[in-house]
Amino acid sequence: MVKLVKIGEAATALGVTTQTLRKWEEDGQLLPDRKTAGGTRYYNLERLLGSNKPSNIDLTIGYARVSSHDQKDELNKQIEMLSLFCAKNGWQHEIIKDFGSGMDYNKKGLRRLLYFILEAKIRRLVLTHKDRLLRFGSELVFVLCEARQIEVVIINQGDVVFLNK
């Protein structure tokens, strides 16, 4: 059965704002699956999260985070390192980037990553360092990955650590 969600939940799942979804609709980039006479937008959550893909999901997510916009150069270095590592291993990948404290559990990118993990939409998660995910609580995310049979790869300055392999 198709699960339709309102714009707020769809925005959270994608890690964007409701205004972004409205803009995408205006531009014709992403149209709601249903729109009521009153203007309420509904989206197919499975379609948004890519569940129409074949069941042999082979997507790798690289997650990059810095504490502030002042560290944008560091964020770009992380993104480059993650992309090169994934490409070198021949993995189809997408990079999720976040700005915010490692103690902020409500970052848009982190929430999007958690949706991918909980819905088992990815094969592996790649991080440059364990603390890029969260300062405290990374182990909980790793347990979720293990439960969903998602491999976790941590690149520590040349040493690569594979969890849940």
Query: Which domain, by its residues, includes 143?
Result: 59-163
Residue of 46 and 97 predicted with greater confidence: 97
Provide φ and ψ at 119, rounded to 5°: -90, 5
Asked, for residue 53, whether it belongs to a domain, the answer is no
Q: What is the CATH number of the domain that holds 75?
A: 3.40.50.1390
Q: From the candidates 51, 55, 67, 68, which is the catalytic residue?
A: 67
Q: With respect to residue 121, please indicate whether it lies within any of the assigned structural domains.
A: yes
**67 classed as catalytic:** yes
64 and 40 inside one domain: no
More confident residue, 24 or 55: 24
Confidence band (pLDDT; 50, 70, 90) for 49? Answer: confident
The 10 Å Cβ neighbour count of residue 43 is: 24
pTM over 0.75: no
pLDDT digits (tens, 9 = 90+) for 91-128: 999 999 988 876 677 788 888 999 999 888 899 999 99
* Total domains present in the chain: 2
